[in-house]
Structure 1
Amino acid sequence: MSAMPGPRRRPAGLHPERGATDTAGVPEPRSGHEGGLVTGVPAQRTAADVYRVSEEQVHRARMAVARNALDSDDCRELLDMLGLIGEPGEAPPVRR
């Protein structure tokens, strides 16, 4: 019988190739302000923001649907059901 290796653990102490003040790999807080300090908690959305969808969000949603559709008819049907396509020259229903 062979022993199964356990989970890998990070050694205690400083990394031998990094200094004590190295912050590589530590993510920066994204948004939200609290007393002048930036926190990792996003700011609360207003009622108007809840229904606002950016053009990039629409594009990303369309691409996700297209990648996962079985064929062009399936893609068109899914985009229509999700309100991601509209009449030519009009904004899609999700943006109205």
Structure 2
Amino acid sequence: MDKRQEELTKLKSYTEIIDNDLTMILQSLQWDRKQLLQNPMMDTCRYDPNHKIPPDKREEHEKVCFLRKNGYFKEDQLLPDPLDANSNTLVKLSRYMFIALP
């Protein structure tokens, strides 16, 4: 039993040393441990790796980010996809024709 108690004491001592080291590292970076533990993990935007976003907002963000990367503005409305690609009334615009429209 004394051997187990001794091992437990060593383990506690080791974890305290590691905890102290971690605290010193966080202080040198001016980071707050509580805040790091509270913040959820963030995903990286596939169109801009500098964007960090919550996982539940990723799909919505990437739609907007993709459009911005391709020259669109937040206020721009895209045309919906045609219901029938073989329809006789389908009008296809090239990118250049679309930009040239007033």
TM-score category of the 2 structures, normalised to the smaller one: under 0.3
**Higher helix fraction: Structure 1 or Structure 2?**
2
TM-score (norm 1): 0.22
Task: Report which of the two structures shows the higher radius of gyration computed on alpha carbons.
Answer: 2
| TM-score, structure 2 as length reference | 0.20
Q: Which of structures 1 and 2 has the larger relative contact order (alpha carbons within 8 angstroms, sep 6+)?
A: 1
